[in-house]
Amino acid sequence: MNLLIKNVRIVDSKKDFTGDVYIKEGLIEEIGQGIEKDCYMIDGKNLVLMPSFVDMHSHFRDPGLTYKEDILSGSLAAVFGGYTAVNLMANTKPVCSDMDTVNYVINKAKDIGLVDVHQCVSVTKGMRGDDVSHLKDIVYPVKFISEDGKGILKDEVMLKAMSIARDKGFTVISHAEHEEYVKWDSRLSENYMTMRDIEAAKKTGCSLHIAHVSTKEAMMMVKNAKEEGFNITCEVTPHHIALCDSTMYRVNPPLRLKEDVEFLIDSIKEGYVDVIATDHAPHSFEDKLNGAPGISGIETAFCVCYTTLVRNGYITLNNLSKLMSENPSKMMGLNKGKIEIGYDGDLVLVDIDKKFKVDAAKFKSKGKNTPFDGMEFYGVIVMTIKGGKVVFRSDDYDNR
């Protein structure tokens, strides 16, 4: 599909100017001013055009837990939030420990056609914590292995998995939680396992990505490893930089102290955080009532981050684009994340001056579980574009 977006403020990690973008056959073909084409045209006056967002960490619950979410509802939630690519975790039912399950998820997402999907494979078979023999049969397009939802308790198992990941070119995504320590102190649990996994990655030479860093001590360990030159990356979530009351909402890892939030934001400013990832974790009302940890976060990620980080003056909109689009695209090997000729025509139109109130009842996700319900933020997603095709348009766009 061919599409021309005119008179719009164009922002990615490096550029910020008003002009036009032309997408031809799914790719960005021309960027400039005064572009005229015989095709469908969108007037972007008073809006910002950015690369669509890419989520390094999502749960779509399919297969097996589709009462919480499925590929369709997750895809709809993603485009509602401005995302056109997601990296899905393996804690489904059955656990994604084989290529049959990987291909099931990827093919289902392709049939729906709203977002590009990468499916993680579990570090241990069935997430039982002891057997990594299945990894020998895991092949492209798998890029990441993760036991997200719990940590790998046995040190030897993690070392074996990291050695295999190194040899096969996988990145290990660490859910830094010690299931025994967490019963006593969740902070100790995260810090201990962050240290263990970083040291194991140094020893084996594998690529390591630390998920949802939430404590200042864990973030400091990541910073030190980066400064030493090791291939360590990390992510933080919108809720861990916007909220600081652990009693407010149950999520794993918990919401931390104000000093942790401030340290994470300082680390973002200093360039030590690679990615803002949602950890989109939808649950049914009953499951949440029974204590299931998690936030349905993919539909509110941009507005929370824009309001918290950009409007409060911590970082620029360019920096936010790098964290939510360019860097995760690079890590996932995608042709997205920049508004450049030859890149995928995956873009998002946002109204950064419009303030709105979050209404979880209107989420496209099956999961309405969010602490942000009723809160006000800036940054309305007006339109999400994938390959030059409009896959989401805000209901009130034509009446703005």
Catalytic machinery residues: 279
Residues 58 and 298: their CA atoms lie apart, in Å, by 8
Contact 75, 85 (CB under 8 A): no
Cα-to-chain-centroid distance, residue 356:
22
Q: Is 228 helix (H, G, I), strand (E, B) or coil?
A: coil
Residues 138 and 123: their CA atoms lie apart, in Å, by 11
| Residue from 265, 277, 262, 260 nearest 217 by CA | 260
Cα-to-chain-centroid distance, residue 288:
22
DSSP for 91-152, please give it. Answer: -SSS---SHHHHHHHHHHHHHH-SSEEEE-B-SSGGG-SS--GGGGG--TT--EEE-TTS--
Q: Is 342 helix (H, G, I), strand (E, B) or coil?
A: coil
398: which 2 tokens? Answer: 């034509």
How open is the CA angle 346-265-260, to the nearest 5 degrees? Answer: 130
Q: Phi and psi dihedrals of 2, rounded to 5?
A: -100, 140
Contact 182, 189 (CB under 8 A): yes
Q: Is 331 helix (H, G, I), strand (E, B) or coil?
A: helix
Q: 220 exposed, middle or buried (CB, 10 Å; 0-12, 13-18, 19+)? A: middle
What is the edge-to-edge ordering of all strands in the sheet holding 275-276?
144-146, 171-174, 207-210, 232-236, 275-276
| Residue from 342, 332, 346, 319 nearest 13 by CA | 319
Q: Is 325 helix (H, G, I), strand (E, B) or coil?
A: helix
